Structure formats: C-alpha cells, structure tokens
Chain A
C-alpha cells in the first residue's frame, strides 16, 4: 500500500521549476552567451532605440514558450505592438502594461513573488535603485526565474549577472545588430541579422480590401 501511495505521489508531484538557462535559438547570441540567460539571476540588455533588443527578446520569449515556460513581460513604456506578440499560447505570455513607467518595478515584484514565471522581463521605466535591484535579484533567485532588464539608453549602475550591449548597424536588406557581452566574457561583439518583414505580412490578411491586388479582384468580380 505504501509503495502504491509513493508511486502515486511521484506521478502527481509537479515538475520542479527549471533552473536551466534560457537560450534564444539565435546562433550569434548563443555564441555570445553559450550558457544562456541565467535562471535566478539578473541580466541587462542595454542599447539605444532601434538597436535590436526587442527583436532578440521576442526570439527568446518564443523559444522559452516552446519549453512550456510561462513568461511575464512588463511593458513599462506601453510601446509594444500587439500584432507582433500574438502567440499560439497566449496563456504563457502575460504582458503587464502599468499606467505609469514608474510602476514597472512593482509589477515585476508581483510576478516574481508568484513563482509562476520562468522568465520575467522589465522593459523600460526609470533606472532601478540598487537596493530595489538587490531585492528583485533575491526574489528571482527564490523563484528560479530569469530576470531580464531592458534599458533604452545608458547602462544602469546596478550589479547584474550579465550585461549585453546592443548597437544597430547600417543595412538596407535587414536589421543588422551588434551585440557585445560586457561582463564575464570577451568584449568583442557578434553580429546578428533580423528580417524586416514586408508591410503586408504585418497584418492578419495580406490582401485586405484596401490593397491594390485585392481591389482588382473585387473589381473583377463585379465587372469593374
């Protein structure tokens, strides 16, 4: 009887939260950070606007979801475009959009405290005070979640486990990005390329009624 109860308990016991680092699946980034984004630690992405941070984040989030890991994303600047973030598993990506950028830290604290997210991202907002950053780092360690801070502009003064600096590279065929690992590694950078999708593929239906090719089809149908 005891062995049956033991086996039942083993079956019903939840999987422990994964503490394996998160990878992006992007070869350039994985070469730069072979051990991935560390779980239970604080990582910082720094760079000016339009330097590829969000594109890489998107990649990491999609990759994290394939592991069945839930992601909490605090969009403190409220500037994400929803069409880019429609996933087949909306329950695995909660985007928190506080009314003011200063409230982002509170949201991060709530997400970390729940121990329900494997990756928690604070995107934008004012720089974290060192004491607050230390507390968040401790909570990330407790919940075994990877905590990622995204800074638009200059790097912050807080202590982080990893810091990646981003810079855009001139290009017309796609968005070329230079990524430099500033901590715990060589300061040389790697380049990655992100595709710039055509305008039509940004919408659900590429051939809407107001697009030239669709208009001609409608016209043909009605003999115009």
Chain B
C-alpha cells in the first residue's frame, strides 16, 4: 500500500515554468564589487552590529579557509587573521543592489521578483520563451546579465516549481540547470535534506532517525510524520514532494477560497447552524470548481457572541469539491460541536487544495460508488477518528492472536471492489467451515482445577463450574531478542455445555491461568 497518505496540499499549476537566479553570498558579492581580483581574494567578512555585539554575517572563501565562520564575534574573527578585511553590513546598499539587478534581469523576462527573505534569490517567469531560444536561451541570457551586473558567480535554474528551481540553482551540478517538465520530484530525490531549507529542529530529528536525503523523506508515511512533528513536517513534505504553488508574484496562487455566513440574530441551535452550513458549503464548492481545485484540508470556524472563536481542522478521506460529501463531512462535525455562546458567524476556509481530477460523468447514477464509500469513511472518521474502519491484514507472527492486524482504511481504493471468486470454498482447505476465534483485548485471569498431572479438568466460566476435556498444550515461545519475551502453554478446553475456551499459562511462572478468548 503506497499511495501518499497525505493528499498533496498544493501542486504547481500545469504549464508553469519558473526560473530562479541565485547569487551565492549576495551581500558579500555586493560589498566586494569593484575590487580588483587580488583584493577580492583577501580574507573578507561582513560584520553586522546589533546592540553591543558585532557578529560575522558572511565570510568569503579565503576567510572560511582560515576557520572564520558566520556567527562568530568580530573580535574573534579578527584574532584569527591580522589582515582580515571587515566590511560593514549595509542593508540599504543590498536592497539597492537587488533592485538594480531586478531591473537588469527584466531584459530577459517581463516578470522578475526578488524572493522574500532571501537576498540574492530572484524568481523569473520562464513561460513563453520558445521564440527566444527556449529555456536554454533564457538561462544563458540570465547568466550573461548577472555577469554584466558584476556577479560572475551567479547560478540559474528552471523547473516546474519554485522549491525545485531554488534547490537546482543552489545545488545543481552546473551554474545553469534545467529540470525537465514533470521531473521535479525525481530531481529532488537525488539531493540531501539541506536542499529543502527545513526547520533546524526537524532536520536534526530526521538525522537522528537516519533520514538524510530527500528520497528517504519522500518515502516516509506522511500522516505519521505530521502527527509527530507538526506543521514543520507538513512543510517538509510539501517541499520534498514538490507540492508548491508559489509563482513569481511571490504569493500562492490561486487564492484558496474562504466563505463566511453572518448570523443575525446569533444562533445557538445546531440544527439552524446546519441549515446555514448547507448554503455555505454550496458557495465554497462553487468557488472550488471555478478554480479547478479540490480541497484536501478545511477549517471550520465559529465566531461567537462573546468575541471568541472556535475552529477545527478537517481532512477529508480524499480531495473534495462536490458540495454533498463536503456537507456530510462538516455536518457530522458541527452536530457534535458544543460552544458556550451563540454563534455570530460561520466561516469555512480551504486550508489546502490540489487541482481537481477530471471525473467520469455519472451515467446511470450508480448507487454503488466510491463516492458513497467515501461518505461512509468521512462520517466515521469525523466521529471516531481514523482508527475505526479496518481491514484485516496477515502478519508473519507465531502467536495466533498476532498473526494478523487491523489496518485502518484511510482512502477508498479505486477498483478494490473488483474481485474474482476463488475456486476453493475454504481458505484452510477443509470441507467443514472453520471455527472462528473471539479474543479478549487483554487476557483475563480464570480459575481452573487441575488433575494430578497438571492438566485442566474443570473451569469456572459464566458463573459456574464446568467439567472440561482438554486439547493441548501448544507450547509457544519467542521474542527472546526483545524486552518482552514470551513462553506459554495454550490449551483448548471443551466444556460440558459445548463451549470451547482458549486458555493459557505462562511456562516460566506456571501459577496462574489466563483466558485469551473462545471459539465461537
């Protein structure tokens, strides 16, 4: 089972190509412009003063070679090398240099935007270049313009998404890298986690787990990762899977829909809220369809009369844009919502979305449909959480009770209902059907009488003593390589009333008897 557990929050719209121009150590490059080659090769650092401290912000290759690092104090850096050239951090100069570079890069593309929070990174719209030498022609022009502006070390990359374009420009093998359309994920899988610019805490946690590459991160179960590490993990997964809608405007596009319904007078009854919710969902669905999106995460927010807010996040079993399943999902949540004050506004936001997949027209309006099963999943997940609808999966284990596990059904697998009957009637190869076990969640103590040889002859069950014949023991032992080894003897007791119990005792401490279950 390897479908992504978390539906992609966002993916790049089809047809987009984004270029990223990157100038390594941009502030240092700006400060060093105009110096001759010999002077530029001297150990040089940029010093930024904050309060009473002067810290090294950036160091050139010569300074790094003698052990000076960003984050060191200026005095310590100077102590390392007597002739260290110290330049002061001048934010206004860097901003002006960025603006000048944007103006210059406009000669290659009409849309050039400096990246927020990253000096020396520029997003460039790479579409529609087929009459200008295509993407190779664009990258060549961009490199030339960077050189003209005084940044010969500049690098350029083109990809489907911003995250990959940035990673390729920084970590690509050549200064000019073109990631073919549709190959973003594959390109990322060859890089280390540093390429994703992740939260430092998450990076170290992943490193502790032995996850050092993007490929390893892509293979991890997404939902489990998000549950453990929170929003940083979600961001990491979005980047690792190249689910990125950022465009050269520097913001996500298209805007994810949000609809609101003001309630005047304020409403207390959930039935009236649900009535309002229906219209709200229809409006949201219309906007999703207009944008060609399916919601993968929704936020339902109740603004209350006492100026407080109560909100809840929902993740449907599969991306949704039809109003009916959306309504079923939200209604169930709203029915069980207890708020302390009347509701004045109902807000429904799409937290994440992906492009809607084209669907087969509903010829004949099938009653038996994945949509209906998806509705079942949504309602049950919404009420009880995700561990409620299960399918049994076999496991390679020696203990009978451990030879299978309940695996939660998280999505409706397409085509799962196609099944060819097996030729055998009984999978155990018996003409008579097999008796089926019932097990207790935990073994319960049970009172047993033994014969002189230590075999059970009577048992107290259902409030009275029963004489019993025995089959067993079945001796089981194992897991000695773990902290919880087991060694036990299992018996089946055939009682005088026809019941068959499954009991056991610990072979290492054969004092007590335990009821594990019965055959039913």
Contact B425 A25 (CB under 8 A): yes
Contact B373 A116 (CB under 8 A): yes
Contact A116 B406 (CB under 8 A): no
CA gap between A106 and B335 in the complex, in Å: 14
CA gap between A91 and B399 in the complex, in Å: 26
Contact B363 A9 (CB under 8 A): yes
Rounded to whole Å, the gap between the CB of A59 and the closest CB of chain B is 5
Encoded as 1 (CB less than 8 Å from any B CB) or 0, chain A from 61 to 72 comes to 010011110101
Contact A54 B520 (CB under 8 A): yes
Would you call A157 an interface residue if the criterion is a C-beta within 8 Å of the partner chain's C-beta atoms?
no
Rounded to whole Å, the gap between the CB of A201 and the closest CB of chain B is 6
Task: Say which one of A10-18, A30-38, A179-187 lies at the interface with B.
Answer: A10-18
Contact A196 B435 (CB under 8 A): yes
Task: Say which one of B115-123, B290-298, B375-383 lies at the interface with A.
Answer: B375-383
Contact A58 B436 (CB under 8 A): yes
Contact A84 B478 (CB under 8 A): no
Nearest B residue to A150 by beta-carbon distance? Answer: B520
Contact A79 B421 (CB under 8 A): no
Contact A90 B416 (CB under 8 A): yes
Specify which of B369, B401, B428 is in contact with A201 (CB 8 Å cutoff): B428
With known contacts A85-B392, A194-B435, A50–B518 Cβ distance under 8 A = yes
Contact A84 B404 (CB under 8 A): yes
Chain A residues 90-104 with CB under 8 Å of chain B are: 90-99, 103
Encoded as 1 (CB less than 8 Å from any A CB) or 0, chain B from 381 to 423 comes to 0011001111111111111110111100100010011010110
Contacts of A169 in B (CB 8 A): 498
Contacts of B394 in A (CB 8 A): 83, 86, 204
Contacts of A67 in B (CB 8 A): 421
Rounded to whole Å, the gap between the CB of B2 and the closest CB of chain A is 15
With known contacts A50-B518, A83-B401, A194-B433, A199–B474 Cβ distance under 8 A = yes
Would you call B42 an interface residue if the criterion is a C-beta within 8 Å of the partner chain's C-beta atoms?
no
CA gap between A115 and B26 in the complex, in Å: 63
Would you call B439 an interface residue if the criterion is a C-beta within 8 Å of the partner chain's C-beta atoms?
yes
Specify which of B400, B426, B462 is in contact with A48 (CB 8 Å cutoff): B462
Task: Say which one of B27-35, B163-171, B305-313, B489-497 lies at the interface with A.
Answer: B489-497
Nearest B residue to A63 by beta-carbon distance? Answer: B425
Contact A52 B435 (CB under 8 A): yes
Would you call B338 an interface residue if the criterion is a C-beta within 8 Å of the partner chain's C-beta atoms?
no
Nearest B residue to A106 by beta-carbon distance? Answer: B383
Would you call B82 an interface residue if the criterion is a C-beta within 8 Å of the partner chain's C-beta atoms?
no
CA gap between A21 and B495 in the complex, in Å: 35
Chain A: residues with Cβ within 8 Å of the partner, total of 82
Rounded to whole Å, the gap between the CB of A189 and the closest CB of chain B is 13
Would you call A209 an interface residue if the criterion is a C-beta within 8 Å of the partner chain's C-beta atoms?
yes
Contact B500 A86 (CB under 8 A): no
Specify which of B421, B441, B499 is in contact with A50 (CB 8 Å cutoff): B499
Would you call B368 an interface residue if the criterion is a C-beta within 8 Å of the partner chain's C-beta atoms?
yes
Contact A196 B395 (CB under 8 A): no
Contact A86 B422 (CB under 8 A): no
Chain B: residues with Cβ within 8 Å of the partner, total of 77
Would you call A176 an interface residue if the criterion is a C-beta within 8 Å of the partner chain's C-beta atoms?
yes
Chain A residues 189-224 with CB under 8 Å of chain B are: 193-197, 199, 201-205, 208-212
Contact B376 A208 (CB under 8 A): no
CA gap between A135 and B184 in the complex, in Å: 53
Would you call A110 an interface residue if the criterion is a C-beta within 8 Å of the partner chain's C-beta atoms?
yes
Contact A86 B435 (CB under 8 A): no
Chain B residues 428-457 with CB under 8 Å of chain A are: 428, 430, 432-441
Rounded to whole Å, the gap between the CB of B477 and the closest CB of chain A is 5
Contact A65 B437 (CB under 8 A): no
Contacts of A87 in B (CB 8 A): 392, 427
CA gap between A67 and B419 in the complex, in Å: 9
Nearest A residue to B397 by beta-carbon distance? Answer: A203
Contact A203 B413 (CB under 8 A): no
Rounded to whole Å, the gap between the CB of A16 and the closest CB of chain B is 8
Contact A49 B366 (CB under 8 A): no
Would you call B476 an interface residue if the criterion is a C-beta within 8 Å of the partner chain's C-beta atoms?
yes
Would you call B46 an interface residue if the criterion is a C-beta within 8 Å of the partner chain's C-beta atoms?
no
Contacts of B462 in A (CB 8 A): 48-49
Would you call B519 an interface residue if the criterion is a C-beta within 8 Å of the partner chain's C-beta atoms?
yes
Contact A70 B391 (CB under 8 A): no
Contact B398 A167 (CB under 8 A): no
Would you call B53 an interface residue if the criterion is a C-beta within 8 Å of the partner chain's C-beta atoms?
no
Contact A197 B477 (CB under 8 A): no
Nearest B residue to A193 by beta-carbon distance? Answer: B432
Chain B residues 486-511 with CB under 8 Å of chain A are: 490, 492, 494-501
Contact A168 B498 (CB under 8 A): yes
Contacts of A53 in B (CB 8 A): 520
Contact A115 B367 (CB under 8 A): yes
Contact B376 A115 (CB under 8 A): no
CA gap between A102 and B471 in the complex, in Å: 36
Would you call B517 an interface residue if the criterion is a C-beta within 8 Å of the partner chain's C-beta atoms?
yes
Nearest B residue to A92 by beta-carbon distance? Answer: B419
Contacts of B490 in A (CB 8 A): 199
Encoded as 1 (CB less than 8 Å from any B CB) or 0, chain A from 155 to 177 comes to 00000000000011111101111
Best-surrounded residue of B364, B435, B474, B517 (most CB of chain A within 10 A): B435
Would you call A89 an interface residue if the criterion is a C-beta within 8 Å of the partner chain's C-beta atoms?
yes
Contact A89 B434 (CB under 8 A): no
Rounded to whole Å, the gap between the CB of A15 and the closest CB of chain B is 8
Contacts of B519 in A (CB 8 A): 50, 55, 175, 194, 196
New contact pairs (16) apart from A103-B383, A115-B372, CB-CB < 8 Å: A49-B499, A51-B498, A55-B435, A82-B392, A82-B405, A84-B404, A90-B391, A106-B383, A114-B376, A171-B494, A174-B432, A194-B432, A196-B471, A196-B500, A196-B519, A208-B478
A contact residues vs B (CB 8 Å cutoff) = 9, 12-14, 17, 25-26, 48-59, 62, 65-68, 70, 72, 78-99, 103, 106-107, 110-111, 114-116, 167-172, 174-177, 193-197, 199, 201-205, 208-212
| Sample of 13 A–B contacts (CB below 8 Å) | A14-B364, A65-B419, A79-B517, A81-B436, A86-B392, A94-B389, A94-B390, A96-B388, A98-B388, A107-B388, A116-B372, A194-B435, A208-B478
